[in-house]
Structure 1
Amino acid sequence: MKHIESIQNPKVKQWKKLLTKKERDKSGTFLVEGFHLVEEALKQSDRVMEIIVSDKSGLPPRWDSGETPVTIVTEEISNSLSDTEAPQGIYAVCRQVQLEVPDAKTYLLIDAVQDPGNLGTMIRTADAAGIDAVVVGKGSVDVYNSKVLRSAQGSHFHLPIIRGDLHEWIEKLHEKNISVYGTALEGASAYTDISTAESYALLVGNEGNGVSKELLAKTTANLYIPIYGKSESLNVAVATGILLYFLKK
């Protein structure tokens, strides 16, 4: 194990840069924080480049880090890598992976969702609902944002998360005879009125504006969830969960 005690160490400066999207994109890596996320990352050991642990924390005895490099740092360094109020003192530097999904039958397509908590929850929900792949379109928050990672609770390591052009993806899905269901308030059918199938894609959109009209014009059908109370709308992550589980039937 290596030990680093200076917060000015070049390695520390590089780790801190991973808190920015610019450096994550440049390096093709990202930083996960906390015992649960690091443990989930280690289940895909080829994605973990390095483990960083505070000298106040240590690695759990049950963990098998294999040949993954481990660096022990001071509590000051550890805290500087965190954007949480109560850092757990453990991190992993992981590789970004753009996986191919040739045999996928079910998809979640995300258009311009900007709240990291919402995006992470939607990725986690897609994972729980057994969706094969998530495609995140332009205008959405970075999928490797620290708050997205925490909200997804390790689902980044369970299913393909692809950053792509949703117009191109919808065309590809139509070519495969996969139905694409948009979400809209106007010109849409109640979600319970459609027949479910083995293959499908659900398209959900921005918290305030919903899915862009250009994308909605390309869907197989558009759906809405009836509101029975006085609320004007549902949170996009909640709506996504309702629809994914219905389509999975």
Structure 2
Amino acid sequence: MSKPVTVITSLQNDTVKAMAALLEKKHRDRSGVFLVEGVHLVQEAFLAGAAVEKVVYDEGRGIPAELQDHLDHSSCERIAASTAVMAKCTGTDTPPPVFGVVAKLNPEQNALYRENSLVVVLDGVRDPGNVGTIIRSADAVGADAVLLGSGCADLYNPKTVRSTMGSLFHLPIVEGDLAEFLPEAAARGIQLVGTSLQAEESCYSRDWTLPTWLLLGSESHGLSPLALATVSANVIIPMRGKSESLNVAMAATVLLYEALRQRDLNPTIIPGLQPK
């Protein structure tokens, strides 16, 4: 038996106002839910077992075929909305055909301290596109978790969510105070590796097979004094051209793939390193 569908066409509808308010962090924090935009992200939310509370689709375009089976097995609210409503509730220039309202995630903090962990720590990375891309790269290499310190772009900012391409549903993303987490990691014997243009050690000389937290700061200010005081080492990515630096998301991807190479692909290239 098909579930009932609510049709909403008015921009003054209270449900529409509540969903549009989720474009702002204070309303996401207050309600404990966030927006996922587009067929792929809604599908990823269902596949990950996230708590999808509402699915809203463009009335004129109908339910996307890719979501039909998920909806048939879900008790979430279904809303058919006008294109104007879709535009008001989403953060893109062209409204997506569907979006979801999903409960904020509850990440497993113990993932930060798994045996031989590889964790990405973001320290004041403010651009939501960079934060989302780094989460996507961390997912791609099989990192254990991502830790977002204070001053980072909000994980649930619609641009951050879009930039993850669904990866925020694939690995734990912990938000917390680095003053608490970094000393704990150091006490557990985890190496804390930062990046610096003044570093003398190449990223390709570092042993990434050890339990590692990779610390990345903002492009304008770098790592905070707290992070700088706790890092075990700083590395630099060698560059042969005239570019002064890579942006933080590109740098994260280079470093994470070097960690993957050493851990899983060809560890014998580093002198003294033994294959697993």
**TM-score bin (small chain):** over 0.9
1:197 aligned onto 2:197: no
1:209 aligned onto 2:221: yes
TM-score (norm. length: structure 2): 0.86
* SS of structure 1 residue aligned to 2:110: coil
Report the residue type matching 2:254 in the other structure: I
Please say which of residues 99-108 and 72-81 is displaced more in the overlay.
Answer: 99-108
1:109-120 correspondence to structure 2 within 5 Å: 109-120=121-132
Cα 1:173–1:132 change in 2 (3 A) is same
Partners of 2:199 and 2:10 in 1: CA distance? 60
Q: Match for residue 164 of structure 2?
A: 152
**Contact kept? 1:114, 1:207, Cα under 8 Å:** no
Report the residue type matching 2:46 in the other structure: L
Q: Match for residue 93 of structure 1?
A: 101
Q: CA deviation at 1:137?
A: 0.8
**Contact kept? 1:57, 1:90, Cα under 8 Å:** no
Q: Match for residue 17 of structure 1?
A: 21
Q: CA deviation at 1:62?
A: 4.0
Partners of 1:135 and 1:98 in 2: CA distance? 13
Q: CA deviation at 1:132?
A: 1.0
Please say which of residues 55-64 and 36-45 is displaced more in the overlay.
Answer: 55-64
* SS of structure 2 residue aligned to 1:18: helix
Report the residue type matching 2:93 in the other structure: E
Q: CA deviation at 1:188?
A: 4.5
Identity of aligned residues (%): 39
1:1-249 correspondence to structure 2 within 5 Å: 1-63=5-67, 64-65=70-71, 66=73, 67-103=75-111, 104=114, 105-248=117-260, 249=262
**Contact kept? 2:122, 2:216, Cα under 8 Å:** yes
**Contact kept? 2:39, 2:66, Cα under 8 Å:** no
Task: State the aligned residue count.
Answer: 249
TM-score (norm. length: structure 1): 0.95
- The structure with the greater share of residues assigned to helix is 2
**Contact kept? 1:29, 1:96, Cα under 8 Å:** yes
Structure 1: unaligned runs, 5 residues or longer: none
Q: Post-superposition, which runs of at least 4 consecutive aligned residues in structure 1 deviate over 3 A?
A: none
**Contact kept? 1:79, 1:89, Cα under 8 Å:** no
Please say which of residues 58-67 and 236-245 is displaced more in the overlay.
Answer: 58-67
Please say which of residues 188-197 and 4-13 is displaced more in the overlay.
Answer: 188-197
**Contact kept? 2:83, 2:95, Cα under 8 Å:** no
Partners of 1:166 and 1:150 in 2: CA distance? 25
RMSD: 1.4
Report the residue type matching 2:236 in the other structure: Y
* SS of structure 2 residue aligned to 1:192: coil
Report the residue type matching 2:6 in the other structure: K
Partners of 1:41 and 1:227 in 2: CA distance? 39
Q: CA deviation at 1:198?
A: 4.5
Structure whose alpha-carbon radius of gyration is higher? 2
Q: CA deviation at 1:210?
A: 1.1
